[in-house]
Structure 1
Amino acid sequence: MEFSKHGVVNLGLILLLGAALITAVFGRFFCGWGCHIIAMQDLCRWLMLRIGITPKPLRSRLLRWVPVAAFVYMFVWPIVYRLGAGRIFPQVTTALTTSNLWASMPGLVIGGLTIVVCGFAIVYVLGAKGFCTYACPYGALFGAADRLAPLRVRVNDDCNQCARCTAACTSNVRVHEQVRDFAMVRDSGCMKCLDCVAACPNDALYLGFGRPALGASPRVEEKPAGRPWNVSWLEEILLASAFVLAFVTLRGLYGRVPFLLALGLSGILAFLSLTSIRLVRDRNLRFSAARLKRDGCVTSAGWIFAFVMVVVGGLWVHSALVRYHEIRGDSVFAKTAGLRAEALDLGWRSLRDQEETNLVERGTGHTEWGLQWGLASNPTSHFRAAWFRFLLGQTERALASAEQALEVQPGASEVHLLHGRVLVGIGRPKEAVMAFARSVELDPAAPQGFISLGSLLGAIGDVPRAREVFRRAVLRHPDNADLHYNFGVACAIIGDVELAAAAFEQTLAINPEHEKAKENLAGLTAFRAPVE
Structure 2
Amino acid sequence: MAKRPASAIAQGNLGTAHHRRGQWAEAIGCYREALRLGPVTAQMHYNLGLALDEAGRGDEAMAEYATAVKMLPYFAQAHTKRARLLIARGRIEEALEHLRVALSYIADSTEAHYAPGLAMSELGRFEGAVTAFERVLESEPGNAQAELGLGMALMRVGRSNEALAVVEASARAHPKVAEVHGNLAIVQAELGRAEEAVRSYEAALRLRPDYGETHYNLGNALVQLQRYKKARAHFAEGVRLRPEFAAAREMLSRLSGF
- Who is 1:387 aligned against? 118
Query: SS of the residue aligned with 1:7?
Result: helix
Matched, 1:358 2:89: no
Q: Distance in 1 between matches of 2:78 and 2:212?
A: 30
Pair 526,422 (structure 1): closer, same or farther in 2 beyond 3 Å:
same
Aligned residues: 204
Runs of 4+ in 1 over 6 A off after TM superposition: 367-371
Moved more, 474-483 or 517-526: 517-526
Pair 386,369 (structure 1): closer, same or farther in 2 beyond 3 Å:
farther
Out of 408, 412, 418, the residue aligned to residue 139 of structure 2 is 408
- Who is 1:502 aligned against? 233
Contact preservation (8 Å) 1:409, 1:415: no
Pair 406,478 (structure 1): closer, same or farther in 2 beyond 3 Å:
same
Pair 368,465 (structure 1): closer, same or farther in 2 beyond 3 Å:
same
Q: Distance in 2 between matches of 1:328 and 1:393?
A: 29
**1:526 Cα offset (Å):** 2.8
Query: SS of the residue aligned with 1:522?
Result: helix
- Who is 1:99 aligned against? none
**1:363 Cα offset (Å):** 5.0
Contact preservation (8 Å) 1:328, 1:366: no
User: Higher helix fraction: Structure 1 or Structure 2?
Assistant: 2
Q: Pairwise mapping of residues 413-452 of structure 1 onto structure 2 (< 5 A)?
A: 413-444=144-175, 446-452=177-183
Q: Pairwise mapping of residues 79-478 of structure 1 onto structure 2 (< 5 A)?
A: 81=41, 85=45, 327=74, 332-341=79-88, 351=90, 356-363=91-98, 379-380=110-111, 382-444=113-175, 446-478=177-209
What do you get for the CA RMSD once the two structures are aligned?
4.0
- Who is 2:35 aligned against? none
TM-score for the superposition, normalised by structure 2: 0.60
Q: Distance in 2 between matches of 1:486 and 1:80?
A: 39
Could you say which structure has the larger radius of gyration?
1
- Who is 1:518 aligned against? 249
User: Higher strand fraction: Structure 1 or Structure 2?
Assistant: 1
Query: SS of the residue aligned with 1:335?
Result: helix
Q: Distance in 2 between matches of 1:370 and 1:397?
A: 24
Pair 328,519 (structure 1): closer, same or farther in 2 beyond 3 Å:
closer
- Who is 1:110 aligned against? none
**1:489 Cα offset (Å):** 1.8
Pair 481,397 (structure 1): closer, same or farther in 2 beyond 3 Å:
closer
- Who is 1:286 aligned against? none
Contact preservation (8 Å) 2:179, 2:204: no
Q: Distance in 1 between matches of 2:44 and 2:77?
A: 23
Q: Distance in 2 between matches of 1:329 and 1:491?
A: 41
**1:463 Cα offset (Å):** 1.0
**1:416 Cα offset (Å):** 0.9
Q: Distance in 1 between matches of 2:239 and 2:116?
A: 38
Q: Distance in 1 between matches of 2:74 and 2:157?
A: 31
Contact preservation (8 Å) 1:364, 1:388: no
Q: Distance in 2 between matches of 1:397 and 1:520?
A: 34
Q: Percent of pairs identical after alignment?
A: 21
Structure 2: give runs of 5+ residues left out of the alignment.
1-8, 19-37, 52-72
Contact preservation (8 Å) 1:507, 1:514: yes
**1:451 Cα offset (Å):** 3.1
Query: SS of the residue aligned with 1:452?
Result: helix
**1:413 Cα offset (Å):** 1.0
Contact preservation (8 Å) 1:414, 1:439: no
Contact preservation (8 Å) 1:470, 1:483: yes
Pair 360,474 (structure 1): closer, same or farther in 2 beyond 3 Å:
closer
Contact preservation (8 Å) 1:420, 1:432: yes
Q: Distance in 2 between matches of 1:409 and 1:440?
A: 17
Task: List per-residue Cα deviations over 1:323-357 (Å, max 9, x = no partner).
Answer: xxx95875643332223445xxxxxxxx4xxxx34
Letter matched to residue 146 of structure 2? V
Q: Distance in 1 between matches of 2:94 and 2:42?
A: 28
Contact preservation (8 Å) 1:406, 1:415: yes
- Who is 2:70 aligned against? none
Structure 1: give runs of 5+ residues left out of the alignment.
9-77, 91-325, 343-350, 528-532
Out of 4, 13, 17, the residue aligned to residue 7 of structure 1 is 17
Task: List per-residue Cα deviations over 1:259-289 (Å, max 9, x = no partner).
Answer: xxxxxxxxxxxxxxxxxxxxxxxxxxxxxxx
**1:379 Cα offset (Å):** 4.5
TM-score for the superposition, normalised by structure 1: 0.32
